[in-house]
Each structure stands twice: as structure tokens, then as C-alpha cells.
Amino acid sequence: MPQPQRLAVPHSAPSRAPAARRDDLADRRTPLIRNCWYVAGLSADLAERPRAATVAGVRLALFRLRDGRAVALHDRCAHRSFPLSRGRVEGDALVCGYHGIAYGADGRATCVPADDRAAARSAMRVRPFPLEERPPFLWLWPGDPEAADPALIPAHPWLSEPGWAYALGLTDIEANYLGLHENLLDTTHFSFLHAGNVGTRAYANAPIALHVEGDTVRQVRVLEGDVLPGLYDRAMDLVGKPVTRSTDSRFVSPGFHAAHAEVIDPEPAPGRPARYATKILHAITPIAQDRTRYWWAIARDWRTEEPAVTGMLREAIVEAFEEDRLALEWIRELDDSDALGAIPERSVRPDLGGLAMRRIVARLAAREGGHD
């Protein structure tokens, strides 16, 4: 059994006199990271009408140009701050719903109906934001546009390449996004919070190999000779069969976590695969300090032609992510309201991955130096 480590991490709510905070560990009060690609919405949801989105506190209006390109502008008309997402798209312009000022993809006004002077047009300008479409997602960079390198967008080929099938969903969580990242790096909770779907008892003690590489964290767990949990066993048709199960979980950025899960059947039945690969992708978008939009996808390279299997996986994942949502919201609610105030946070060895992630985010936040 791993020995618990006494890692005292003061954990304080924003509204009370804070105990000493560990500046090297990000928590729910750490300013949201803006220099990062986040999912702002789904390709399929952006058609002829503009849509509102919020990413790291930044309010955005998304719309499509006539050639289909998706663009993002600050959702705030330069004239009287009417939300542009409540306007309409005309040709290649987003037209404000209040006095009809039209803005192009670069945020410059192309028409000011009440004042046709060029000076009036040039005074009206809203900020454009880098937006890149990688179906099924629209990726947005809310920070310094100079730093918005599309090569930094996390890859998710399993959602577009042949040979894979996937289920996609959205869970809104009224809690800080770092709790969700920590939850995803903490696979020991599978056996308890998700006892009915993702975890088996033996999984809680499977060894963890931790790799911190630059600003990413990777954890690998391998469990041999155990049966599969409810998420997989019926879907893979391996109920009660001892298999090898490995999970490679990666904190890729503040906006993305990818889990690569593999099941090896050492004695496959005739005509059945020996290896099953599943990718569980987590696009995590902080809306505000304590509000998070969580787009998830579960992709598989097995039984790809069977929609019933997609349905089974979706149902199990929705059940598990509801358990995560409730856990994170209950913790946030308690932290906000407990009259006895903050308690020191204690950690055990499997928390090292989560703590490494919080150190990285604290570093990224310090680098950004707060926002104006």
C-alpha cells in the first residue's frame, strides 16, 4: 500500500480571510489562463445564426462567413455594448441588433446606418479573436493573438479519421475547471465515485507511473488479470473475463485532457480482437472562475459499425460524468459555505499528478501576470 504523504496544501474560499496560500499550486482563485486554445462550441451548432460563447471570462460572438469559415468577435458592439451575438449575419458581416452597425470578420465596421461618414465607420471596431475549426470542435484563443499558434491545438484524429466511432456530449459544471483536471488525473476515484461504471476495486491500487514533461503531465496505469468495469464489459462483450487494462492519461493544456485506454484480451475467442483501443477526450473550457463547460468524446476502434455500442458507452459515460459533476459541485458549495472556513488540504501519493498539473497552471498564470 502506498504510504500517505503529508502534503499540506492550504485551500481557501475566495470570500473568507485566506489562510496562507501556496502560490506554486493553482487553485480555484487562480486567474484563468488566456493564452491557450479552448473549445468554444461545436461545428455542427454554428450555422446561419450567430452564437454566443464565453471562454476564460471573455464574451464572444461566433458566426460563419459566406465561404463557411467560422470567425469570432468580441460580443460587444463598439457603439452601445449591445451583444452582437443577438444580432444577425448578412453576407460576410455581423449586424448589431440595436442600431444596425455591421462588422466584418476583422472587427471593422463596414456600415453605420445612422452616420455614413468614413470617420464614423473607422471609429467603430470590435476585437477579433483567433478561431480555428477542427471538427467537431471550434477552437478559440482568448489571449494574446500574436501567440495563437494553430500548431498548439490539441490533436484529436480519432474524431475525424476512418476506423473510429465516437459519442460526443457536453456537461456544464458549476465549479472551477482545475477540480475537473485534477479529477481526470486522479484515477483512484474510479473505484469509489464510479464503482458502478468505470472502476473496479482492484483498480484503486494499480501502480501509477508519473511523467511530467514540460507543461504536460502524463500518468500510466496498467492492471493485469482483472475483470472490466461496467463501462466496457458489456460493450466489448467481455463480461467476467480477466484482461489487461491500461490507461494513459494526459493533461495536455488547461483546455484539454486526453485518456488513451487499452484492453488486451490474452486469449481472444475465434474471430474476436485481442486489442481494444478507446480514447476518452476532455475539452475543458472555463467560463468563469467557478463555471466550466466540459465537452467530452469517447472514441473506439472496436465494434465501430454498431450504434447500439455507441449508445451503451454514451449512457455509461453520462452516468460517470454526472457523478463527477456532483462531486465537484458539492465540494465547491461546501467550500463556499462552511462557517468553520478553510481546512489544510492533505494529499496522498496518487495525487502527485494532480499537484504537478496545479504547479504548471500556477506557472502559466504567473507568466500571464493577471489580466486587465
* Cβ at position 322, least distance to Fe ion in Å: 10
Which residue lies nearer to ligand FES by CB, 77 or 184? 77
Stretch that binds ligand FES, among 59-67, 93-101, 330-338, 356-364 (CB under 6 A): 93-101
Which residue lies nearer to ligand FES by CB, 62 or 77? 77
The one-letter code for the residue type at 116 is D
Partner from ligand FES, Fe ion, none binding residue 290, C-beta < 5-8 Å depending on class: none
Distance between CA atoms of 129 and 134, rounded to whole angstroms?
16
Q: Which of 82, 202, 233, 277 lies at the binding interface for ligand FES (CB under 6 A)?
A: 82
Distance between CA atoms of 260 and 88, rounded to whole angstroms?
41
Distance between CA atoms of 289 and 179, rounded to whole angstroms?
11
Q: Which of 77, 175, 235, 361 lies at the binding interface for ligand FES (CB under 6 A)?
A: 77
Which residue lies nearer to Fe ion by CB, 112 or 298? 298
H or E segment to which residue 58 belongs: strand 58-64
Contacts of residue 225, defined as CB under 8 A and 6 or more positions apart, other chains included, come to: 242, 243, 244
Q: How many angstroms separate the Cα of 104 from the Cα of each of 92, 99, 202?
A: 6, 16, 57
Q: Does position 73 bind ligand FES by CB under 6 A?
A: no
H or E segment to which residue 110 belongs: strand 109-111
Q: Does position 101 bind ligand FES by CB under 6 A?
A: yes
Which residue lies nearer to ligand FES by CB, 75 or 265? 75
* Cβ at position 180, least distance to Fe ion in Å: 9
State phi, psi for 73 to the nearest 5 degrees: -125, 155
DSSP code, position 146: G
Partner from Fe ion, ligand FES, none binding residue 98, C-beta < 5-8 Å depending on class: ligand FES
* Cβ at position 190, least distance to Fe ion in Å: 7
Q: Does position 75 bind Fe ion by CB under 5 A?
A: no
Q: According to CB under 5 A, which residues from 287 to 326 bind Fe ion?
A: 324
Q: Does position 182 bind Fe ion by CB under 5 A?
A: no
Which residue lies nearer to Fe ion by CB, 89 or 206? 206
Contacts of residue 120, defined as CB under 8 A and 6 or more positions apart, other chains included, come to: 109, 112
DSSP code, position 108: B
Q: How many angstroms separate the Cα of 185 from the Cα of each of 23, 247, 350?
A: 21, 11, 9
Distance between CA atoms of 184 and 149, rounded to whole angstroms?
26
Q: Which of 29, 69, 80, 371 lies at the binding interface for ligand FES (CB under 6 A)?
A: 80
| Binding-site size, Fe ion (CB under 5 A) | 1
Q: Does position 27 bind Fe ion by CB under 5 A?
A: no
**Residues 252, 284 contacting (CB under 8 angstroms):** no
Which residue lies nearer to ligand FES by CB, 79 or 358? 79
Name which of 126, 119, 53 is nearest 96 in CA terms. Answer: 126
DSSP code, position 4: P
Stretch that binds ligand FES, among 44-52, 95-103, 149-157, 241-249 (CB under 6 A): 95-103
Distance between CA atoms of 174 and 245, rounded to whole angstroms?
32
Q: Which of 46, 96, 236, 297 lies at the binding interface for ligand FES (CB under 6 A)?
A: 96
Partner from Fe ion, ligand FES, none binding residue 164, C-beta < 5-8 Å depending on class: none
Q: Which of 16, 86, 92, 98 lies at the binding interface for ligand FES (CB under 6 A)?
A: 98
Q: Does position 76 bind ligand FES by CB under 6 A?
A: no
* Cβ at position 57, least distance to ligand FES in Å: 22
Q: For residue 60, give the C-alpha cell.
A: 464572444
* Cβ at position 198, least distance to Fe ion in Å: 7
Q: For residue 255, give the C-alpha cell.
A: 483546455
Residue 255 has a CB neighbour count (10 Å cut-off) of: 25
Interface contacts to ligand FES, rule CB under 6 A: 77, 79-80, 82, 96, 98-101
Interface contacts to Fe ion, rule CB under 5 A: 324
